[in-house]
Amino acid sequence: MALIDAEVRVLEDNWIYGSEDIAANVIVPFAVLAENATTPRPVGVRVGPDVGADKVAALLDRVDLVAIEFPKFRDGRGFTTARVLREKYGYKGEIRAVGHVIPDQFEFLIQCGFSTVLTPPEHPPEHFRPVVPAGGGEGTNKKPLQLLNRLVGHRGAV
């Protein structure tokens, strides 16, 4: 497992996964964090697929990382959770995808506002390709888009 950003750079990862203790540098499950108003910082929140962005929103000002969990790659709830946190709640901090994602979803993850992906064991970083910014105008190196999406320009963070 490795931590990558949109350019597939492998990043140093000091976060602690899989612990339920309230401590600095731990990504704490949502339910645990919701019951503890004060925590050491930095602290992360692990958001399962059935939590939903509206509940997470209440915790945003006291977390340093939102880790959205994909139990299996076909479960696409995390895409909406990230997007709503960015657009409805204006969250500017790091959103990380953890769990089972596949390289073919990487671009969509980035477009929905994920900052980083914790790669699953069966897909090391070399399976992932950097996300090419989309837009596709003349004289650019951007990835081509069909007309409407060039005009509406709503394809997310990149």
Residues at the site binding another protein, with contacts judged by CB under 8 A: 49, 52-53, 73-77, 79-81, 83-84, 87-88, 102, 104-105, 107-109, 111-112, 122, 127, 136, 143-152, 154-156
Residue closer to another protein, measured from CB, 37 or 151: 151
Is the Cβ of residue 79 or residue 91 nearer to another protein in the bound state? Answer: 79
Nearer to another protein, 43 or 45 (CB): 45
Closer residue to another protein, CB minimum distance, 28 or 131: 131
Residue 149, burial from CB neighbour count under 10 angstroms (0-12, 13-18, 19+): middle
- Give the shortest CB-96-to-another protein separation in angstroms: 17
Closest separation in Å from C-beta 36 to another protein: 25
Q: Measuring CA to CA, which residue among 30, 49, 64 is closest to residue 100?
A: 49
CB of 63 to another protein, least distance (A): 20
Residue recorded with tokens 């190196």: 141
Sign of CA dihedral 20, 22, 26, 32: positive
Measured from the CB of residue 58, what is the shortest distance to another protein in angstroms?
Answer: 15
- CA-nearest of 154, 34, 43, 47 to 96 is 47
Q: Which residues pair with 95 in a beta bridge?
A: 66
Strand partners, 62: none
C-beta of residue 95 within 8 angstroms of C-beta of residue 82: yes
> Shortest gap between Cβ of 150 and another protein (angstroms)?
7
- Three-state SS for 31? helix
Cβ-based nearer residue to another protein, 15 or 30? 30
